[in-house]
């Protein structure tokens, strides 16, 4: 008897085979493109670090580029540990969420309930600290530490509280009025974790987050305040005026910097980790192992401030909705020589993790290219131009805008245009020039379009546009 099922089965097998080949080719093409992007950045001195790209939890691409130690020339590897800088904030926020789940605090409690020394900050709640709507000034920039602190001493969270209680720097705005990023908020949250749990910040995170998720290479470390010998550790570097690598914890004159005397403060930074552990963290956030769906609504939810604008910050995560890519939650970090970044595309379950230990004016992370490659979009063919010094002169200046949180200082760096945020301790970033007064900075996917005729600047960050004017 003729087997009537044989032909359809063969066709199905062939179709599955073709699909597998097509998927393999697509995967190989992504690997090739991603490697070519980072290899080019590495060769040009614009990237020194580790990369991991995953789709639905499966690693599509991971690779190390460059050195862990510029002195010994020890190479980075996929297990190397980096300081996460502000990517640490999401772990601090999770600590608060876990305490709330246990009934030990509420998001809308006033912070004075746990930090009575700061009762003059009337109306500031834990929620305000979590989503940067508190108005509490940033300890990194406020005069309390910039001008009044003895910089031969290393401040800790205790000193942040006592110095703020002593000098009482006023709120930058009333709680809930608007959103403004403040590292102080997350330092105070770490102190609240300690006072409520009666454990150190380090022990609480280890016992309640890192150990349950088997994040064996994740820990709290302050390299100046409490130095230790850490195996497979990425040292932090900047560059001097001759582009020689120097320790990011000292200036060219070997004097202590902001990174030194504020190294004892935890909560806003100090979590250290590697690619493997951060992927475990990413995967856990899709499960109910630590938190439930209601908790996730709080963590990844936004609100409107009293000025009517949407706050794009949840609990330790920056939030955005992208037409091409869906909902994105991410966070960047920059401290000393470290540039860190984690991005989660929650609608399609894609993950980007980037860890660098060298921060120079030329450092880049190529975020725009990564996104396009992940979604199979064609990379743009941009023709760079090379303006002369006179052309660059007309772009220099300080730019500000009513709806933009910081001032941008634009200046010449050799034969290129560079910029930095006024008052920020991190390195400036250089930009590539294109036609029509357009400059692009890959590190944070930023585009700047200048209009010299009316001294204005159109800044695009994460596909949001802001109009700034040059100050006279």
Spatial contact of 458 and 446, defined as CB atoms under 8 Å apart: no
- Per DSSP, what are the bridge partners of residue 157? none
Active site residue 86: yes
Asked if residues 81 and 234 have their Cβ atoms less than 8 Å apart, the reply is yes
The burial class, CB within 10 Å (0-12 / 13-18 / 19+), for 444 is: middle
Give the pLDDT confidence score for residue 20 in this predicted structure: 52
Pairing of strands 416-421, 429-434: antiparallel
Look up the pTM and report it.
0.80
- Scored b (16 or more CB within 10 A) or e, 5-44 reads eeeeeeeeeeeeeeeeeeeeeeeeebbebbeebbeebbee
* Marked catalytic residue, from 46, 64, 86, 134: 86
Instruction: Write the DSSP string, 167-193.
Output: H-PPPSS-TTS-----HHHHHHHHHHH
Domains of the chain, earliest start first: 85-374 (3.40.710.10), 389-470 (2.40.128)
Nearest 5 degrees, angle CA 62-CA 64-CA 67?
165
pLDDT of residue 381: 64
DSSP SS3 for 321: strand
Angstrom distances, CA of residue 169 to CA of 181, 369, 462: 16, 42, 32
Tell me how far apart the alpha carbons of residues 34 and 51 are, in angstroms, rounded to a whole number: 9
3-state helix, strand, coil in the chain (%, to 5): 30, 25, 45
Residue 132 structure tokens: 């940067």
Share of the chain above pLDDT 90, in %: 67
3-state secondary structure at position 9? helix
Tens digits of pLDDT across the chain (472 residues)? 445 445 666 666 555 555 555 556 678 889 999 999 999 888 888 899 999 999 999 999 999 999 999 999 999 999 999 999 999 999 999 999 999 999 999 999 999 999 999 999 999 999 999 999 999 999 999 999 999 999 999 999 999 999 999 999 999 999 999 999 999 999 999 999 999 999 999 999 999 999 999 999 999 999 999 999 999 999 999 877 666 788 887 644 445 678 899 999 999 999 999 999 999 999 999 999 999 999 999 999 998 999 888 889 999 999 999 999 999 999 999 999 999 999 999 999 999 999 999 998 788 889 999 999 999 998 766 667 777 888 888 999 999 888 887 788 898 877 788 888 776 545 567 788 888 889 887 656 788 999 998 999 999 887 788 899 998 6
Q: Which residue has 């999401």 as its token pair?
A: 90
Pairing of strands 438-441, 446-451: antiparallel
CA 282 to the chain's CA centroid: 15
Classify residue 21 by its DSSP letter. H
Count of beta carbons in the 10 Å neighbourhood of residue 86: 21
């Amino acid at each position: 008897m003729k087997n009537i099922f044989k032909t359809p089965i063969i066709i199905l097998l062939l179709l599955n085979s073709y699909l597998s080949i097509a998927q393999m080719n697509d995967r190989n093409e992504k690997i090739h493109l991603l490697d070519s992007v980072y290899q080019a950045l590495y060769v040009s001195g614009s990237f020194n670090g580790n990369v991991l790209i995953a789709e639905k939890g499966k690693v599509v691409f991971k690779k190390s580029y460059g050195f862990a130690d510029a002195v010994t020339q020890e190479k980075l590897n996929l297990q190397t540990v980096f300081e996460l800088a502000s990517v640490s904030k999401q772990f601090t926020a999770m600590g608060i969420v876990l305490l709330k789940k246990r009934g030990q605090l509420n998001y809308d409690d006033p912070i004075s309930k746990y930090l009575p020394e700061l009762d003059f900050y009337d109306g500031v709640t834990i929620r305000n600290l979590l989503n940067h709507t508190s108005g509490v000034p940033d300890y990194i920039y406020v005069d309390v530490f910039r001008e009044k602190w003895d910089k031969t001493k290393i401040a800790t969270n205790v000193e942040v509280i006592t110095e703020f209680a002593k000098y009482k720097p006023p709120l930058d705005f009333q709680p809930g009025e608007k959103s403004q990023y403040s590292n102080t908020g997350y330092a105070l949250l770490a102190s609240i974790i300690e006072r409520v749990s009666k454990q150190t910040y380090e022990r609480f995170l280890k016992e309640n987050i890192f150990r349950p998720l088997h994040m064996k290479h994740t820990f709290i470390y302050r390299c100046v305040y409490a130095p230790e010998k850490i195996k497979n550790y990425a040292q932090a570097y900047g560059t001097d005026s001759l582009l020689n690598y120097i320790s990011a914890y000292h200036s060219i004159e070997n004097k202590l910097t902001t990174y030194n005397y504020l190294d004892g403060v935890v909560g806003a930074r100090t979590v250290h980790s590697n690619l493997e552990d951060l992927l475990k963290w990413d995967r856990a956030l899709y499960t109910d192992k630590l938190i439930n769906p209601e908790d996730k609504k709080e963590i990844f939810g936004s609100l409107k401030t009293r000025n009517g604008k949407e706050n794009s910050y949840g609990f330790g995560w920056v939030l955005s909705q992208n037409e091409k890519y869906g909902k994105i939650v991410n966070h960047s970090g920059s401290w000393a020589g470290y540039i860190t970044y984690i991005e989660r595309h929650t609608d399609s379950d894609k993950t980007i993790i980037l860890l660098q230990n060298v921060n120079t004016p030329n450092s880049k992370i190529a975020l725009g290219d990564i996104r396009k490659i992940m979604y199979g979009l064609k990379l743009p063919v941009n023709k760079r131009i090379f303006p002369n010094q006179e052309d660059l002169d007309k772009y220099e200046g300080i730019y500000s805008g009513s709806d933009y949180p910081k001032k941008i200082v634009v200046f010449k760096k050799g034969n290129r245009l560079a910029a930095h945020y006024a008052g920020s301790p991190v390195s400036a970033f250089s930009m590539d020039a294109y036609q029509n007064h357009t400059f692009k900075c890959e590190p944070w996917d930023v585009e700047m379009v200048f209009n010299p005729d009316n001294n204005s600047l159109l800044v695009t960050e994460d596909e949001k546009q802001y109009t700034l004017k040059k100050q006279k």
